[in-house]
Amino acid sequence: MKCPRCGKIITAAAAACRHCGARIAKPCEKLTRRMTANGRIALACGGLLILMAVAALLAGAYPLGLFLAVIGATFTGIGKMMS
C-alpha cells in the first residue's frame, strides 16, 4: 500500500505514514456492509433479468430477450464487483 501524500510504501495496518506522518483513512465498516448488500441486490436483479430474457427468447421475442440478457449481465457484473 502507498501513502496518499508522499507515495512511499507503508503497511496496510498503518494508521499513519511513518515517512511523512500523513493519517491513513480506513474504510468505514458501515459503508462496506452497505456496498456488500447492494452487490447482492444487483446480483439478484441481474439473475432475475437473465431468467426473464430466457423466457422471452423461448417465446420468440428476440429483441426483448437480447435486451434483457444484456441488462441482466450488466447488473450481474456490477453485483460481482461490489460483493
List, for residues 29-69, the tens digit of each pLDDT value. 666 666 678 888 999 999 999 999 999 999 999 999 999 99
| Averaged confidence pLDDT in the chain | 88
Query: Is 54 part of any domain?
Result: yes
Q: Residue 15: inside a domain, yes or no? A: no
Assigned domain for 7 exists: no
pLDDT, mean of residues 17-36? 77
Predicted confidence at residue 13, as pLDDT, reads 83
Say if 64 falls within a structural domain. yes
- Report yes or no on 34 lying in a domain: yes
Distance of alpha carbon 72 from the chain centroid: 15
Asked whether residue 21 is domain-assigned, the answer is no
Domain membership flag for residue 42? yes
pLDDT of residue 82: 81
Q: How far apart are CA 42 and CA 48, in angstroms?
A: 10
pTM over 0.75: no
- In whole angstroms, what is the distance from residue 30 CA to residue 51 CA? 32
Residue partners of 77: CB distance under 8 A and separation at least 6: 46
Range of the domain at 76: 29-82
